[in-house]
Structure 1
Amino acid sequence: MRKHFLLFIFFAFILASCGKFEKIRKLTDEKKKYAAAIEYYKKGEYDKAGILFEEILPSLTGTDQQELVTFYQAYCDYHTGNFEMASFRFKRFAETFARSEYVEEAVYMSAYALFKNSPSYNLDQSGTLSAINELQSFINNNPDSKFRTEASDLIKDLRKKLERKAYEKAKLYHKTSPFNIASLKSSVIEIANFQKDYPDSEFSEELYYLKVVSQYDLAVSTIETKQLERYKDVVKFYQELIDKYPESSYLKKAEKLYDISMKASDRLAKLEEEYRKAREKEKSNTTKVGAAENQK
């Protein structure tokens, strides 16, 4: 019974609040509407404040209140999770009110809203790149800003997301196609790109090893005429692994592939040498036959 009574009180309060808000929206007195919007904003009811700010802004053009309401409206979007619009509004505020005391904060918040809107690492990262560019631009243009350190930390977080994306992409090629030559080539290429872009990554050791594995699988899967070069690359990638991580936990596994590749390289090199000698002998015999025919 008590639970039902409390629910009744709660819904009655909600209905009363909604009714009050709708009455405020219908006010023709812009000053009262403005005061109500500011009150909602200070109480943290950003959805209601944002609606009222949107409605009264056209009538505030050229007034002292226009700047503050425009700034608060951007924050309403931010606090209600509409980060893309918040970024747009903060940026427009900075352009419109270039001499405002809030302009530096607005520029930073425009970039910060993009940071908040950055997608998960497994999605398209164009939004993450945009956030990095905006934050870096803010730092470059405001080297003494109180937001500089925070902006730098945000860039590091975003780059970590790009790093994770690149790591998962490199692993995906390796995981899904153990005998698909095109995917194995892509795996090696993606790992090489990762190593270049993120040389000190926490994922680096694992990918150094997976590069050996992918190259070995590529060598095994390819036609014999291309195997020697690809086995040699396995040996090279193994050397890169042990040079960078001499105590690697992947060392024993990688060493097995190295040993197999060394033996395969020796065997294939001997075969190539035998083929070369056979071709030279055949060529020499053909030349002698031709010379003999010419003498007749």
Structure 2
Amino acid sequence: KQSHNFIRIAGCNSCHSQDLPSIAAAIARDRGLRAPKSVAQLSETMNGQSPERIMDFVTNSVSSLGWELFDKDSNHLPHDAYTDAVVYFTKSQQTAEGYWRNAEGRRPPMNTGDYQGTAMAISTLKRYSSHEAQGETKQILAKAAAWLTKANPTTTQERSFQLLGLGWSGEATPAAIEKSAKALAATQREDGGWNQLSGMGSDAYATGQALYALHAAGKMPATDPVYKKGVAYLLRTQHPDGAWHVKTRSIWIQPYFESGFPHGQDQFISSAGTAWATLALAMTVEPPKMSLK
């Protein structure tokens, strides 16, 4: 409900109010759960996907673009001129070391850090690279996987995106993926949740993110004790209205407004946290079996 209000008031798409909720809804639908058929998005003429602005990515990060294409792919949208342009841009931004830079910014944790930038770039290339460029794409992904394998993440988000990037790349060794998954699982707190930073309490953002990474990339079954403990934390902390409350730690850079999502000043990160929690919970439901007709 808040996605339409956010666009109407802010005049832009966002990862926390559009992309992540849309991804969560799409994955829930694919697993046979009741979910909105679509989440309000900015029109193509306003969000830069028109032919005249298709290459105007100078103010975008590979992370935010990656979320857009993750959203498109989750909703089973085919590649087009826009996704081709994003892929081209993403490839051009890889560093010599193999990762993608992603500024920390003033609105953590969304779209911050090189681990997220690298994982979302990998996601873009895996989901929308052309078959004609498979050889080049494979080399780029192998280089990214090598960087992630050697990296030493220190926060839940860094560990989660290290694992997602390794799993998505298709170029990481099973040993590297297993090591990353074990490191992330080992940081689960006694209450069943994960925290964003050392010294913070558990919250739905970090917990949902960690669980999704463990299942999607680490292949941890939802029946695993670690996963079940995390699910129990999420169910225990969900509010009666269906949302989860996550406290913000960002520096506000725009006038405050009400999008319609609960929790006041914390509404944007709470929206993202609720989407991550929904993704994690959706993983506990097996997708409907395809007909063999």
| TM-score, structure 2 normalization | 0.24
Which structure dedicates a bigger proportion of its chain to helix?
1
Structure showing greater radius of gyration is 1
Q: Which has the higher contact order (CA 8 A, sep 6+)?
A: 2
| TM-score, structure 1 normalization | 0.24
